[in-house]
Amino acid sequence: MQRWLLLWPLFALALAAPVELKLNLRVGGQPLQFGQTYQTPQKQRYQIDLLKFYLSEVALVRPDGSEVRVPGLVLAEFKPGGPTQGVTLMRFEAPPGTYRGIRFNVGVPRELNHLDAATQSPPLGVNSGMYWAWNPGYIFFKLEGRAFLEPERRWVIHMGTDAFRIPVRLQDLQTPRLVLNLPGRGGSILLNLDVGAAFLPGPGGAFLDWRQEELRQLHGLSPQTRAFMGLVYQNLIQAFSLASPPLQSR
């Protein structure tokens, strides 16, 4: 028994495969390009200038529904001049084997979100540019751009507060379609985020109409704009997907 215990670390080492979690930004079916003009379903033309979000509480989901949790919190940032395809968000280790998906949250875990931001270290803290001075807590998801109206207008979506942590579940336990086979030598899991999906209309055709000033500054929980924040939130839950193939071995 004693001897087995001594060997355990070696087993553990052999059992951990390196994984990279990578992201492609898309608009509809196309890779996102900064500087390119896109159109919402309501034919408002826009450009993306910044995308920044926290990713946390990542877990790989086993076929029996149990999870391999991955510790850590990362801040992803995309802006003109930087890459948008195959960008590594996070590196971690997980036991090789078969998985049926991945889940994560876009946001800062509740227990970290309300500590004193003046003393927290990166990627938290005020130097992140994600601290929300008017509200204790962080902006979880920041999307900024311009709308080509007459005249051109800047718009921002700053989503945060515990009510707007985005739970993303990319798993499929029922059908055998989704299988991630993580080999012992490790691999990359590739996600897509369709940024354009943020602007899809809601029930009854309600949409984020940038001609309205208050909808160009979407922050926090304000009852005046909350319905629209809720709409973008619902859209974003659906905006992540696994690329195909979802896993590339090393």
Partner 1 sequence: MNARWTYFLLLLGLPGLLWLATLRVEGEGALSMPMVRLPLEPPDNPQTPAKVALGRRLFYDTRLSADGTVACASCHKPAFAFSDGGQRFSRGVGGQEGQRNAPSLTNVGHRRALFWEGRSPRLELQAVGPLTAHNEMAMTPEALAQRLEAIPSYAQAFREVFGEPPSLRMVTFALAAFQRTLLSYNSPFDRFQAGDLKALSPAAQRGMELFFSERGDCFHCHTGPEFTDDTPHNTALYTVYPDIGLARATGRDEDVGKFKTPTLRNVALTAPYMHDGSIPTLREVVMHYNRGGQPNLNADVLIRPLGLSEQEIDDLVAFLESLTDRSFTANPNLLPPAEP
By CB under 8 A, name the binding residues for partner 1: 116-119, 125-129, 131, 133-136, 154, 156, 163, 220-224, 226
Q: Minimum Å distance from CB 195 to partner 1?
A: 20
- Closer CB to partner 1, residue 72 or residue 136? 136
Using alpha carbons only, give the angle 128, 134, 137 rounded to the nearest 5 degrees: 50
The helix (run of H) or strand (run of E) holding residue 205 is: none
Q: Minimum Å distance from CB 119 to partner 1?
A: 6
Beta bridge partners of 47: 146
Q: Minimum Å distance from CB 154 to partner 1?
A: 7
Q: Minimum Å distance from CB 81 to partner 1?
A: 13
Instruction: Please state, in angstroms and as integers, the Cα–Cα distance from residue 88 to each residue in 128, 129, 177, following that order.
Output: 18, 20, 25
- Closer CB to partner 1, residue 88 or residue 222? 222
- Closer CB to partner 1, residue 63 or residue 129? 129
Q: Minimum Å distance from CB 222 to partner 1?
A: 5
CA distance 45 to 36: 10
Q: Minimum Å distance from CB 132 to partner 1?
A: 8
- Closer CB to partner 1, residue 40 or residue 225? 225
- Closer CB to partner 1, residue 64 or residue 116? 116
The helix (run of H) or strand (run of E) holding residue 44 is: none
The helices-and-strands tally (H runs, E runs) of the chain is: 4, 15
Three-state DSSP string of 71-118: EEEEEEEECCCCCCCCEEEEEEEECCEEECEEEEEECCCHHHHCCCCC
Q: Minimum Å distance from CB 84 to partner 1?
A: 19
- Closer CB to partner 1, residue 174 or residue 224? 224
In the numeric block, which tokens belong to residue 32?
């996102």
Tokens 């985020």, residue located: 193
- Closer CB to partner 1, residue 47 or residue 241? 47
Residue 210 CA neighbour count, 13 Å, CB half: 24
- Classify the C-alpha dihedral 248-191-163-133 as positive or negative: positive
